[in-house]
Structures are given as structure tokens and as C-alpha cells.
Amino acid sequence: MKMKRIGAITLSVILVFLMGLSGCGTQPNNSAAGTNAVDQTSTQPSEQSSVKSTVPVKLSIWTGYPELDTWISKMAAEYNTANPNVTIEVSSFPLRDFEKKVTTSLPSQSCADIISMDPNIAMRFAKQDMLVKAPDDLAKYVTGGAYDPAIAGVGQLEGIVYGIPHMYGTAALFCNAAMLKEAGLTGAPKTMEQLMEYAQKLTKYDASGKIIRSGLSLRLVGGGSGLAEKFWILMMENGGSIVQEVSPEKYKAGYDNEAGLKTLQMYVDMLYKYKTCDFDIKSDAEGFETEKTAMFARETWVIADIKTKAPQLDYFTAPMPGDANIGNAYDFFVTNTKDDNKTQAAWDFIRFMMTPENHKQMTSMSGWQSGRLDLDMKDFIAENPQYEAFFSTYKTINVIPMIDEFDEIETKLADRLASKGFTDPSFVDNTGKMKAFLSECAAETNSILKENGHLAE
């Protein structure tokens, strides 16, 4: 199937402990142009290929997540020790800069040999033969049960595996334990209504009424499509989505409804009615780490960030206050340099990183989840209990749809939210005005879908 649908899919993002991890894989096939047919027999990535080359190779790897640098650099050094002819340069960039850099450098073959990227963006390049199909052994591993099918599917094009999922982003609620205790609150909010109540009780003001601590940090500016994604994460708890699949590969805007209205109203009320957050207070991880906010929703990387920047912070994590969550996979891709030695070495290095003992280190060193179902993380969670909430089960997990225009849809919705939806105080208690705004946004979303042949009419 050419495009992967968005999901209200059933997915238990929970640890599945499979035994016998070592020695159970098949011998890898190192042909980068293998048949790559989907196979349901799970294989474990071998540590390295069976074919050795002494040809000097210099590889480069780019990511949009600096948190990964330490882990990838460690893997590169260890791989170089075992393979002295292969040197690996590791570079990371701010996420949007990284995406632009890949987009402009791939056509001229000046991109890195390996990129870690959102498959929703990367698969555009696979269609243009700018990415290399995964070798058969890695393709079989991806499709053989080590990942939920929704995660395995996003890096495929017409049944061919291009991406190797290595990083997984899902959300949990970070709560400052001392602040909750001070406010007389026990445990985390379990519903969206409770979330609003908690935010009001946790907010602090100075003598002039200015917020000096927000109750719940909201993404209000910046970040391009990420702003709309953060809106979506809260909206899905109300049953909404950015786009809704009506029939295979046919969609319509999924927020011009009660779910979208409730979520927009929550933002507006927090900003202008109850004043639990504003544009000036520090937000996101920085706000939480500097104790300028009491709660916020984010991914696992924040746990590692807190260890470095605010090790004495008294906090805990909790499942999102509803029945839904998001599941974002990030895959390793090999770019089409037309250099067989580089291609073989690149896939071999990916194999090396994906062995269980190496891949587990990604979580401990960067804070990101792996998204795999075949890693035994019990010892890690025992030592790092803040991660447990990220392995909670939900009725539905929403994944990004594999349509090229989705980033444009999110970015344009984010622009409208940032410039109007979050800045107009007259929206307070004005249901009709909020509905009209959402209808305008949805019309633009549906227009983009129609331009790309994906609108359900």
C-alpha cells in the first residue's frame, strides 16, 4: 500500500519481554538491493555483517536530535575499533534546520550517508530513489514482530522496507511533586476536566497578578508543525484528530467538531479566563526544569535532560489524562550515494547500533524510547521509575498518516493557532466565534487534502 493511514489503532505500548535474544537471528544478507519482501519471521539484527571489507570508508550520520549525539558517537567509536577502515562523523542540527538541510542536500548527493528522520518526511525521498532499500535481513527483522505493525509500516513504501525504526516518541504528563503536595493535590489528573482543575490550583501570581508559575505549560509559539502536534496530543484526549481517515487513503479535517472546540476552549480559558499560562512564562522542558511550570506533557527525552540540568527536581510522570496517545517513530535511512562500499558499511553500522545491548543504551544515554517490543527493559525501569508511565496502555494510539502533505497541514494549522486561535481574548465564552475559526482552519486543511488527491468527498 502506497500510503499509511492515520490510526485510531489499538496499540499497547508496553514492554514485551522476549527471551533468547542472542543467537536467534538468521545470517544477514548484505545486498543493499535485495528483494526486501515483507516477511513475518522475526530475526534479530546480527552485530555485524559476515562480509568484511578493508576498503577505507568515511561515513557521516545526521540527526535533528542532539540528545542522540552521545549514544551515536559512542557506537561510532566502538564500531571503528572493530572496523578500523570505517570512520564515522556524527552531526546534529536543530530539527527544522535538519529537515531543510536533508531536503536541499539529497538531490545533489551531498547529504549524510545515514539520516535519522521522521518517515512521513523521508518516504518522499524514497519515491524519488534518493534512499536505499533495507537489506533483506533488516527488512525481515522490522516486519517480523519486533515492532507494532503501525510502527513497522511507516518506513515502508509499497511493501518495501526503507527505514529501520530506532526511536519512538510518545507522551506522558510530567508533574512537580512538591508543587502538587503544596496545593493539596494527590496523584496526577486522570481526566481533562481534572487537568484544568489542577492547572488552576497550581498557578502562582505575584502581587500585580502576573503569572510567576504556570499550572500547565502550553506550546503557544514556534516550532512549526510541532505547535499543532502539541495541540493534537491534548485534542486526542477529547477524541479529535488533525485529519480523520474516512476510507482508504481518503481524509477530511478531524478537528472541526466538538473535540476541536473543547481543546481550543481549554487553551483560551487557560490563557484569558483562568490565566493559568501566558506567553511570557518559560515553558516546555526549560520551564519545568526551572520550576516555572508545574505540569507539562512531553516525551522521554526530558527525563535524561532533567538528570543533567535539574538533578534535584522532585517530580514524577503519569499517563496522559485520557484514553489516547500519539506514537511517533523515527527511522534510520541510508541515502543513495551510489557508492556500494559506503552503502554496505552504512547498513552494517545500523546493524551494530540495533543489537539489543547497544540499542538499550540509546534510552539510558538519550532518554528516548526505542519503540521495540523485544527489548527487556525491566532492570532499566527499576533504576529509572520515571519511565514507567511511558509504557502505559491506551485504547488508541494515533500515528502520523503517510501522506506527503501532512506536514504542510500541521504547519498551516499551527500558523493559524499561533496568530489567531491563541491570541484572541474575544474567544472566551464565545462558542460561535471559536467554531467559525475552526471551520476556517478545516477548510484550509481540506483544500490541501484535495490538492493532493486525498480528500474524502
- Residue with grid cell 486525498, as numbered in its chain: 454
Residue of 92 and 367 predicted with greater confidence: 92
- Where are any strands of DSSP class E within 114-271? 114-117, 156-157, 160-161, 164-169, 172-176, 204-205, 211-213, 243-247, 250-253
Evaluate if residue 7 carries a pLDDT over 70: no
Neighbouring C-beta atoms of residue 186, cutoff 10 Å: 6
How buried is 428 (Cβ within 10 angstroms: 0-12 exposed, 13-18 middle, 19+ buried)?
middle
Q: What is the mean pLDDT of residues 77-104?
A: 96
299 secondary structure, DSSP code:
-
Indicate the average pLDDT of the chain.
88
Evaluate if residue 39 carries a pLDDT over 90: no
Q: What is the mean pLDDT of residues 12-41?
A: 33
- Confidence at residue 22, expressed as pLDDT on a 0 to 100 scale: 31
Fold of 35-170+327-383: D-Maltodextrin-Binding Protein; domain 2 (3.40.190)
Q: What is the mean pLDDT of residues 375-382?
A: 90
CATH class of 172-324+402-451: alpha beta
Q: What is the mean pLDDT of residues 346-352?
A: 97
What residue ranges do the domains of the chain occupy?
A: 35-170+327-383, 172-324+402-451
- Confidence at residue 120, expressed as pLDDT on a 0 to 100 scale: 85
- Confidence at residue 224, expressed as pLDDT on a 0 to 100 scale: 78
- Confidence at residue 156, expressed as pLDDT on a 0 to 100 scale: 93
Evaluate if residue 274 carries a pLDDT over 60: yes
Indicate the pTM of the whole model: 0.76
Q: What is the mean pLDDT of residues 326-332?
A: 92
Q: With pLDDT > 70 as the criterion, what percentage of the chain qualifies? A: 88
Q: Any idea what the Cα angle at residue 300 is, between residues 295 and 303, rounded to 5°? A: 70
- Band the pLDDT of 27: cuts 50, 70, 90: very low
- Confidence at residue 48, expressed as pLDDT on a 0 to 100 scale: 53
In three-state secondary structure terms, 223 is: coil
